[in-house]
DNA sequence: CGAAATGCAAGAGCACTGCTCTCTTTCGGC
DNA sequence: GCCGAAAGAGAGCAGTGCTCTTGCATTTCG
């Protein structure tokens, strides 16, 4: 069982998500294909196991990185999260693609199992921003955001996550969140072009600075 | 031949990229599978045709949108590009996923055919920023960017694309580019969560404003 | 201690996939 | 009318996900 996930991860890293074959996993396990169906209901369920596994690993990496930084250094904590996401994504591109790339066709990750681990990263980000806000370290206006229905949506989000930070910070946070994964995806998926940068980390650090500034932690 | 691409697009939209089957396309075409191989060398080549097709369609959509806006309204031109990308992505999620999502396993888009159409969107963005810069409409410092090797990379990019705008604008432009696709991907791939926003366009417009501001066109 | 019940893996089989090969039909130019 | 090129048909190979039945252990119960 544990072995199935382990070998599945190897295949995922080697051949990618859509090429994940239960038969091949069974072969590597030295067992016939029907035998693994005793432990895993379907290929999709194996995919779900790998999704959860990936979210957990990313979450652990982010947790470890953020805890190494002083709790009062809000900007640096945010940078640590960004760097951890990027480093993990570059180390595990196939798993990253499974989590944040195009959905695998015909496969829908069951929400009850994946939303928990899936929100760990954004949860950490929100934690940092909220900390900065209550410490008075932010520099964003606390005026409510423009369209009223959007303000209502943001109010609901604030309530759900227990945030006291104002609309502008929540909205900017979502942008920074999406932008962070946009940058990482561009780099992992090679959208920038092959040899554009001598060291891609340079431009990432610059972007990270801009995102820190965008949420008022400059 | 044209029919193959046409039906391929239908299947792409219906079942997704990895489920694209040459046999199914042949069936819909009322022809046996081997007959399709007279026109398309492999499944990967069909995928490449669809990639080029998708880039072209997105490029056309962006071109049409940006040309409807006055050439001097730089911020509004940038917004038009962003809106066009989002609208097209939501209308053609499968093709969008093929272009900007996880790479299809075992398939590498041949650069010589795809880089041309693939750079149309970013080319338009660069055009807008460069226009704004030469018109003196930007509000970004023109100090060179921090690490020297990054400055060299950016200088090479400027030369390649014929840009006169300073490092800071080029770097911020790349961030805005990645952030734009990050936002769109989050929305198309459902990373935000299912029913977070009453109208997702609200938050997108807000993010668009922030990106316009980030490149100094606020 | 022997028998029954249970757990687990094997193997065959179905329908599908990409792709290659050979055979046959069809159609246009001379 | 004929001949060659073009294009579809069909069989076949190796792979896939998944189901079902069979057989072999081990464990539990009478």
pLDDT score, position B18: 80
Helix (H) or strand (E) holding A183: helix A167-188
Q: What is the mean pLDDT of each run of 10 residues along chain B (218 residues)?
A: 92 87 95 95 92 95 97 97 98 91 66 78 96 87 79 92 92 97 92 83 96 93
Which residue, among B186, B92, B25, B19, has the nearest Cα to A104 in the 3D structure?
B19
Contact status, residue A171 vs residue B206, Cβ threshold 8 Å: yes
* Helix A2-15 / helix A93-100 crossing angle, nearest 10 deg: 100
Q: Which nucleotides of C are covered by protein (CB under 7 A)?
A: 8-13, 16-22
Q: Does A15 sit within 8 Å of B106, measured CB to CB?
A: yes
Per the structure block, which two tokens stand in for B11?
A: 């299947």
A210: distance to nearest CA of chain B, Å? 8
Contacts of A186 in chain B (CB under 8 A): 177-178, 181
Residue-level pLDDT at A103: 63
Residues of A whose CB is below 8 A from B185: 100, 178, 181-182, 185
Alpha helices (H) in A16-119, listed in sequence order: 22-28, 33-36, 43-67, 74-91, 93-100, 111-118
Q: What CA–CA distance (Å, rounded) separates A32 from A50?
A: 21
Q: Measured between CB atoms, which of A174, A182, A193 is closest to B203?
A: A174
Question: Looking at residue B108, what is its pLDDT?
Answer: 66
Q: Is B164 helix (H, G, I), strand (E, B) or coil?
A: coil
Q: For chain B, what percentages of helix, strand and coil (3-state, to nearest 5) are there?
A: 70, 0, 30
Provide the 8-state DSSP code for A144.
P
Read off the tokens for A147. 């369209």
Q: Which residue is nearest to nucleotide C16 (CA to C1')?
A: B23
- Cβ atoms of B49 and B40 within 8 Å: the answer is yes
Spans of chain A below 50 pLDDT: none
Nucleotides of D under 7 A from a protein CB: 7-12, 15-21
Q: A214 with B214: CB under 8 angstroms?
A: yes
Query: Cα dist. A92→A61, A189, A192 in Å?
Result: 12, 12, 19
Report the alpha-carbon distance of residue B122 to residue B104 in Å, rounded: 22
> For chain B, how far is it from start to end, CA to CA, in angstroms?
47
- Name chain B contacts of A167, Cβ cutoff 8 Å: none
> What does the DSSP 8-state code read for residue A132?
H
All residues at 6 or more sequence positions from A145 whose CB lies less than 8 Å from its CB, including other chains? A151, A154, A167, A168, A171, B206
Residue A104 is predicted with a pLDDT of: 61
Residues 6+ apart with CB under 8 A from B205: none
| For testing contact with chain A, the best of B116, B151, B157, B175 (most A CBs within 10 A) | B175
Pairwise CA distance, residues B73 & A22, whole Å = 55
Torsion angle defined by CA atoms of residues B76, B79, B84 and B87, in that order, rounded to the nearest 10 degrees: -130
Residue A197, token pair as written in the block: 């940068």
Contact B20, B43 (CB under 8 A): yes
What pLDDT shows up at residue A110? 67
Q: Locate the chain B residue with the closest alpha carbon to A186.
A: B178
Give residue for tokens 């554009």: A196
- Please, which residues have CB within 8 angstroms of residue B120's CB and are 6 or more apart in sequence? B55, B58, B59, B62, B63
Q: What phi-psi label fits residue B63: left (phi over 0), alpha (psi between -120 and 50 degrees) or beta? A: alpha
Distance separating alpha carbons of residues B99 and B85, to the nearest angstrom: 12
Nearest nt (C1') from A26 Cα: C9
* Separation between Cα atoms, residue A192 and residue A195, nearest integer Å: 8
DSSP B122-137: HHHHHHHHHHHHHTT-
């Amino acid at each position: 069982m544990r072995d199935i996930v382990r070998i599945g991860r190897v295949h995922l890293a080697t051949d990618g998500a859509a090429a994940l074959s239960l038969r091949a996993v069974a072969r590597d396990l030295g067992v016939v294909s029907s035998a693994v169906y005793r432990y895993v209901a379907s290929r999709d369920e194996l995919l779900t196991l790998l999704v959860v596994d990936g979210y957990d690993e990313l979450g652990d990496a982010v947790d470890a990185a953020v805890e190494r930084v002083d709790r009062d250094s809000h900007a640096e904590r945010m940078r640590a999260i960004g760097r951890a996401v990027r480093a993990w994504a570059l180390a595990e591109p196939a798993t990253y693609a499974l989590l944040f790339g195009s959905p695998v066709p015909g496969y829908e990750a069951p929400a009850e199992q994946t939303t928990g681990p899936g929100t760990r990263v954004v949860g950490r980000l929100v934690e940092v921003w909220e900390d900065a806000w209550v410490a008075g370290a932010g520099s964003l206006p606390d005026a409510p955001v423009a369209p009223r229905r959007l303000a209502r949506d943001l109010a609901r989000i604030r309530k759900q996550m227990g945030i006291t930070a104002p609309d502008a910070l929540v909205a900017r946070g979502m942008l920074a969140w999406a932008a962070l994964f946009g940058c990482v995806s561009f780099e992992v998926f090679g959208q920038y072009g092959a040899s554009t940068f001598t060291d891609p980390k340079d431009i990432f650090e610059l972007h990270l600075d801009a995102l820190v500034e965008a949420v008022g932690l400059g």
